[in-house]
Structure 1
């Protein structure tokens, strides 16, 4: 019933009626202000009188608002369950905007979720930014859904720190867990875990992913639990908890049998590539190569660039430059087939330079400075550590110990960023 206050306020403003004129002979101006801001619930007679003065039918608005709310909630639930076409959106939109108030606001929030799931990011962004002007952190169902959709939007556009901030605005509200179903809370925690992982806050990501996994396991949401296991494995890997990382990925392997075959290749790629990362971090390059080669099998040619880079790096670190060049040529062919990120371009440039013959010290210095500065600029601490180590060993082989030590210092500082980052969100 609190939504009625918002409807009153919107309709009063729409009709350009002052508060004192609307409430004259019904209640005080201060009491109307409290009603409009949903700080109190008036008795039904006061609502009737106020709506009547606005020329509105209280019973019709109340009934329509109640029915529409259930319909919008069902649509939102369907979207969370990845069901795209269960609602007549144009009809629902017209009804929601007729009802106005919290009902129309809820429609817009859920509609944004629909747009995001259909990759209509620009339209969703416009609506979300307009909604931001009217929302303040509050213990309400609409703010709960809005926060969830906003987190999802920021993840899709790569704004991982903004996603974390949007999520934290909700978690600071005491009792926010009571505003959504367990399944919704699981998705919320998963998304916060994913955004923390992408931003390099691995301890924080572990915490959220474990919360989400607990919810999804209890509710038998196997596909969602699978996603959480992948996050846990990646986090443990980057935190050098390799036994825990391998355990998470092995558990993911066993879980895969309960999922439809159409998703198996995607998960097999993630499991194989991450197990390769795990063994590479441990210096077990033969094992790492085995898993990276497996990962390649599950990808189309234009999408193979990440495991190809991993293979090049492994063979380079093993001293097998012939194999490294072979996979570099394959990566260069792959670049021509599809879109490649700047981070991937930088890594290809590193090995295109280092695998040249002859190779000058000036060329090493140039690619080292360019690449490490880039990784630092995007706060990619993992690649900073990985390539600082690679270049430091190369400098050591040429008796350039001062330059090697400088890179080891940068790698140490990046590692400290990872450790402290988990506590800073």
Structure 2
């Protein structure tokens, strides 16, 4: 047994001794001193395996049987966790067995692993609050060693942080604690997953150079593995990051690699994957001012799978292209009430009013006060950098230079934030 597993047996001895209401003297007599037992139970010393066997036997537990039972549970949990990481559906038998392993006590590593795998399962079915609540119960029992409980905790908690848009938390944890060091002994796919998510957090935080650094590490860790869906995610994320670094041709190379992969691997050819990839390509063209190409790819993306995020992007590109016919058709087909995400609704308001013929100063100010402070609060800097100068230009047409100045200040603040984070 490894030292860490022996420490687990020490905790098992303590748990069962307390459950049976026995004192250390009662269990230790004839085997070791009570003080030595105390150090075994608390993981201060590692005893001979025969000592663990005698102590557990005194508590009515067969060490060999216990090891076999734990080994089977461990193998089951690893299989289920691997399936969850690969976005595979659990069988009813697997889910039933996973559920039966759940406990309110986390005295043993196997209990921690069961809880962590179940938390990852809850995440996979979008029960995010339940996943987070379970993680909070488990967190005090994580020892922060290069062990499976720590590695799974890092992986699962990173996923949950992302779901709650807590990008800064992921970044700070890696910068201050270097939790990736605990992943060094995990399998390479888990390492790649973790670095991918750190890259994702940096990208959403506008620290694009760091995002590129971590996506490159993720790609290196993932090399020589056949998991096409994750490979597609790597191509797409690297393309998105390069696009935001204004390295457009390199971004398009990544997106082209993603298209080749999708064309040749039928198992990942879903409308969602095609839609997401074409949306990214469209945005790359939009950022270059190639609005005709952008509109074409946004339309193609929406044909694969109707996505209101793609629709609002399609509207914005159509406005920039000056294509009133397409824009008006989109407004008719997608009225404001169809959008449920607030920044989509606000973009709809901005574009609808901007495309109208009769601009009014009071209406401009009403929309400005409603939208731009929200964009700033939510750190939607890219949206501010597009819409605030547009609104400033409208104000200048009315000679309302004070209001125009306010909009330019919004844009300047957003630009400075992006600059600071990109240079960090």
Same fold, judged at TM 0.5 (above): yes
Q: 1:184 aligns with which of 170, 186, 190?
A: 190
Q: Of residues 5, 8, 17 in structure 2, which corresponds to 1:12? A: 17
Range moving further from structure 2, 94-103 or 241-250: 94-103
Correspondent of 2:251 among 233, 242, 245: 245
**1:102 aligns to 2:105 (yes or no):** no
User: More relative contact order in 1 or in 2 (CA 8 Å, sep 6+)?
Assistant: 1
Matched, 1:306 2:309: yes
CA shift in 2, pair 1:314/1:83, >3 Å = closer
* C-alpha separation in 2, matches of 1:278 and 1:286: 12
Contact persistence 1:375–1:383 (CA under 8 A): yes
Are residues 171 and 197 of structure 1, via their aligned partners in 2, closer, same or farther at CA, if it must alter by over 3 Å?
A: same
Name the residue aligned to 1:358: 358
Deviation at 1:232, TM superposition (A): 1.4
Per the alignment, residue 381 of structure 1 pairs with: 381
1:229 touches 1:249 (CA, 8 Å); kept in 2?
yes
Helix, strand or coil at the partner of 2:146: coil
User: How many correspondences in the alignment?
Assistant: 417
Q: Give the superposition deviation at 1:375.
A: 0.8
Q: Which runs of 5+ in 1 are unaligned?
A: none
Report if aligned partners of 1:148, 1:167 keep a CA contact under 8 Å in 2: no
Separation in 2, partners of 1:39, 1:421:
44
Alignment of 1:36-51 (within 5 A): 36-51=41-56
* 1:236 matched residue in structure 2: 242
Which of the residues 266, 284, 293 maps onto 1:287? 293
2:146–2:183 contact (8 Å) kept in structure 1: no
Shift of 1:144: 0.4
2:102·2:115 contact (CA, 8 Å) conserved in 1? no
Residue 365 to residue 99, structure 1, CA distance change in 2 (3 Å): closer
Please list the CA deviations of residues 105-159 of structure 1 after superposition, one character each: whole Å capped at 9, or x if unmatched. Answer: 2112112222222333343333222112322433321110121111122333443
Task: Report the TM-score when normalising by structure 2.
Answer: 0.86
Closer/same/farther in 2, CA of residues 370 and 136 from structure 1, 3 Å limit: farther
Equivalences for residues 38-187 of structure 1 within 5 A: 38-86=43-91, 87-91=93-97, 94=100, 101-164=108-171, 171-172=178-179, 174=181, 176-187=182-193
Counterpart for residue 330 of structure 1: 333
Residue 31 of structure 1 deviates from its aligned partner by 4.5
How far the C-alpha of 1:207 sits from its partner, in A, is 2.2
Report if the CA contact (8 A) 1:8-1:36 is conserved: yes
Tell me how far apart the structure 2 counterparts of residues 354 and 74 of structure 1 sit (CA, whole Å).
54
Q: For residues 410 and 39 of structure 1, do their structure 2 counterparts lie closer, same or farther at Cα, with a shift above 3 Å needed?
A: farther
Cα distance, 1:94–1:344 mapped onto 2, change above 3 Å: closer
Structure-2 separation of matches of 1:149 and 1:160: 14
Aligned-residue offset at 1:368: 1.6
Q: Quote the RMSD (CA, aligned, Å).
A: 3.1
User: Residues 170-211 of structure 1: CA distance to partner in whole angstroms, max 9, x if unpaired?
Assistant: 73364x233311111112222222233334333332222222
Equivalent-residue separation in structure 1 for 2:146 and 2:268 (angstroms): 40
Residue ranges of structure 2 left out of the alignment (5+ in a row): none
- Greater CA drift, 154-163 or 305-314: 154-163
State which drifts further: 219-228 or 12-21. 12-21
Question: Normalising to structure 1: TM-score of the pair?
Answer: 0.85
Which residue among 207, 219, 233 is the counterpart of 2:213?
207
Aligned equivalents of 1:76 and 1:307: distance in 2? 32
SS in structure 2 opposite 1:77?
A: helix
